[in-house]
Structure 1
Amino acid sequence: MTVLNQLASALKRRDELPNQELALRIIENNDHQAIEELVTKLSNKNKDVQSDCIKVLYEIGEHKAELISAYAAEFIQLLDSKSNRMQWGAMTALAAIVPTNAELIYVSLPRLIEVADAGSVITKDHLVNILIKLCSIRENEDDAFSLLMEQLLKSHANQLPMYAERAIPVINSTNKKLFIEVLSHRINDFDIESKRKRVEKIIRKFS
């Protein structure tokens, strides 16, 4: 049985469980051949196959990033897809492999930001995840933090508390002043009281 025959669409399933189970089998067997096959089918004419393949690949990445790290360029190219599902799926995969292929992802940030700015909320969520992970890498932390603050300044108010909370692990004595300034600048943007309180709590934590 080829890897394609194990995808949810091939099994006539509408849930993601077959894809998740396939990802775990590939990880367990370090099955590089299966991964290569999945990558080559990202451009398949069948949209369901495309969707299943990117799902399996980013599930692999979230558990064992090094298995898909070599395909960062393919994921970046996939950001040009007209399919929203493939765009945010590619961004999810890239977020997973930041620790193992930070250099290529870092130099590709202008393209990633361009795609996220025009893309869905999920695409933006994973760009923020990428920037936060890059902030943890000394060579990239200053630029990545500046770009992260730009995202916080222009993000939708509904997303801002989550982004700010996710950023907490990379806040330190050097950057906390700017972090507080950015959050304070946005504090009156919330229509929902609970979201404003979440941001106020973060501001107090670092003040």
Structure 2
Amino acid sequence: MSIIPKLASSLSRRDEVPNQELAKEIANHKDQNAVQELVENLKNKNKDIQNDCIKVIYEIGAIMPSLISAHAATFIELLEHKNNRIQWGAMTAINTITLQNPKIIYASLTKIVETADKGSVITKDHAVNILIDLCSLKEYANNAFPLLAAQLLSSATNQLPMYAERAMPIINAKNKTLFIKTLTSRLDDIEKDTKRKRVEKVIKKIS
């Protein structure tokens, strides 16, 4: 049976609950055919179906990334999609599978970073997470970390404390100096005391 009738838009629902329940069902059954159908319908003429499909896909990725990791190349292509919902949804899906399929994602870092620089806050959030995941892998860390530092330099001050906190587990003797220098250079940009104190706390813990 097709999964299209189970999508929120097919059920005339404006909430995401049907899509979340469908993702759980597909993940529980390890249903590769359903995943394939979702991926194929990212090109559906109906924009609502496209949006629902990418939502279900990254919700599956959050539960069982191995079920969608084979479609990494498709998600990377979708970063150029004109529909912003598909674009940031694809970045979210990539975020869920970075540690499952790091080689292809690392090879596409230029496109990922370019999309983050031009995209929405959500797009950038997930791009930063992707870079942090790659920094946790020895073979990619040397090249991924400078890109992460560049994102910290250019990020909105509202997002910076969260990015700094998320990056803490991958900070080591090799990258600590650049990390501290990058964060310190941003302190004067942060107008809100609470946000600045969070960044200062990260610097203090790492130092």
Normalising by the smaller structure, the TM-score range is over 0.9
| 1:11 aligns to 2:23 (yes or no) | no
Distance, in Å, in 2 between the alignment partners of 1:21 and 1:181 is 44
Unaligned 5+ runs, structure 2: none
CA apart distance, 1:175: 1.3
Classify the secondary structure of the residue corresponding to 1:72.
helix
- Partner residue of 1:64? 64
After TM superposition, give the deviation of residue 115 of structure 1 in Å. Answer: 1.0
Q: In 2, distance between residues paired with 1:136 and 1:165?
A: 15
Matches within 5 A, 1:38-53: 38-53=38-53
Cα-to-partner distance string for 1:26-62 (whole Å, 9 max, x where unaligned): 0111101000000000011111100100000000111
Secondary structure of 1:126's partner? helix
Deviation at 1:4, TM superposition (A): 0.5
User: Matched residues in 1 for 2:191 and 2:85: separation?
Assistant: 29
Q: What is the Cα deviation at residue 6 of structure 1? A: 0.5
Query: One-letter code of the match for 2:158?
Result: N
Provide the rounded CA distance (Å) in 1 between the counterparts of 2:143 and 2:59.
Answer: 28
Residue 80 of structure 1: how far off its partner (Å): 1.2
* Residue 180 of structure 1 pairs with residue 180 of structure 2: yes
Normalised TM-score (structure 1):
0.98
Residue aligning to 2:125? 125
How far 1:107 moved relative to its partner?
0.5
Corresponding residue of 1:74: 74
- 1:4 & 1:198 partners in 2: Cα distance? 44
- CA distance in 2 between counterparts of 1:187 and 1:62 reads 33
CA contact under 8 A between 2:132 and 2:170: conserved in structure 1?
yes
Rounded Cα–Cα distance in structure 1 between residues aligned with 2:159 and 2:83: 23
Aligned equivalents of 2:26, 2:178: Cα separation in 1: 43
How far off its partner does 1:105 sit? Answer: 0.3
Cα distance between partner residues in 1 of 2:108 and 2:146:
16
Paired residues in the alignment total 207
The runs of 4+ residues in structure 1 deviating greater than 4 Å are none
Structure 2 residue identity aligned to 1:24: K
In the alignment, the residues of structure 2 paired with residue 202 and residue 78 of structure 1 have an alpha-carbon distance, to the nearest angstrom, of: 34
SS at match of 1:100: coil
1:1-207 correspondence to structure 2 within 5 Å: 1-207=1-207
> Which SS does the other structure have where 2:134 is aligned?
helix
| Letter matched to residue 38 of structure 2 | L
SS in 2 for 1:186: helix
Cα separation, 1, equivalents of 2:191 and 2:47: 38
Residues 3-38 of structure 1 show CA distances to partners (whole Å, capped at 9, x for unaligned) of 001000011111111000000100111101000000
Residue 205 of structure 1 deviates from its aligned partner by 0.6
Q: Structure 1: any 5+ residue segments left out of the alignment?
A: none
Q: Tell me how large the CA RMSD over aligned residues is.
A: 0.7
